[in-house]
Structure 1
Amino acid sequence: MSVHDELTSIQRSLDDLSRSVSRLEQQMGSGGLDIRRVRTDCDHLRESAALLKAATSAATAPKRPDLVTIPDTPYDDSLWIDTDDEGLGARDRHAP
């Protein structure tokens, strides 16, 4: 089976579990600590399965790199006034 099929099977099983827990809650009442704990665990499993499904679908989707547009116009020289040319020293001084 593929990963998608396995995740779908897990989702169906968790849906069945949720329905069973709901029937059990109706029979036992939802006020008990044990049944609330089972309901919470069931909900956490459903959330974890949804996160796993989202992570696998994101991992299998082809990723396109973000494109960065570089302008053809030259940079503004005022950006480089207070910098030194690397390896050449400052503009107003001579290299040794």
Structure 2
Amino acid sequence: MSLHDDLTSVQRRLDDLMRCVARLDEPCGDSLDMRRVRSAAAHLRDSLDLLKVSAPVDAGRRQVEMVAVPDAPYDRGLWADAEDEGLGSPHRHAP
């Protein structure tokens, strides 16, 4: 799925959540817990709106940059004074 499809899917589910919260309003009344649920749902809606504005338009179409690795052997000077992991220096014996 592309980013746009994911955001649209989340928006649909959030709309369903908002409808369910509205239906809970009548039986639960204006209790502290219900106000928290309404506030949390509104916060999610606001956060999703901000995400949709800041999301890159072409995030789903991002291309991977290819890096060419030469077949020639590496310069041995790159490894001078390097220690083999787990074996230590070449001048000492392995454990």
TM-score of the superposed pair, with normalisation by structure 1: 0.58
Partner residue of 2:17?
Answer: 17
The separation in 1 between residues aligned to 2:37 and 2:15, in whole angstroms, is: 14
Partner residue of 2:51?
Answer: 52
Aligned pair count?
58
Which 5+ residue runs of structure 1 have no aligned equivalent?
Answer: 62-96
- Pairing 1:4–2:12 present: no
Q: Which amino acid aligns with 1:12?
A: R
The separation in 2 between residues aligned to 1:2 and 1:22, in whole angstroms, is: 30
The separation in 2 between residues aligned to 1:15 and 1:60, in whole angstroms, is: 23
SS of residue in 1 equivalent to 2:9: helix
* Identity across matched positions, percent: 53
The separation in 2 between residues aligned to 1:52 and 1:15, in whole angstroms, is: 16
Residue correspondence of structure 1 range 75-86 to structure 2 within 5 A: none
Which 5+ residue runs of structure 2 have no aligned equivalent?
Answer: 59-95
What is the CA RMSD across the aligned residues, in angstroms? 1.1
Larger RCO, structures 1/2 (Cα 8 Å, 6+ apart): 2
The separation in 2 between residues aligned to 1:60 and 1:13, in whole angstroms, is: 21
The separation in 2 between residues aligned to 1:39 and 1:60, in whole angstroms, is: 30
The separation in 2 between residues aligned to 1:60 and 1:14, in whole angstroms, is: 21
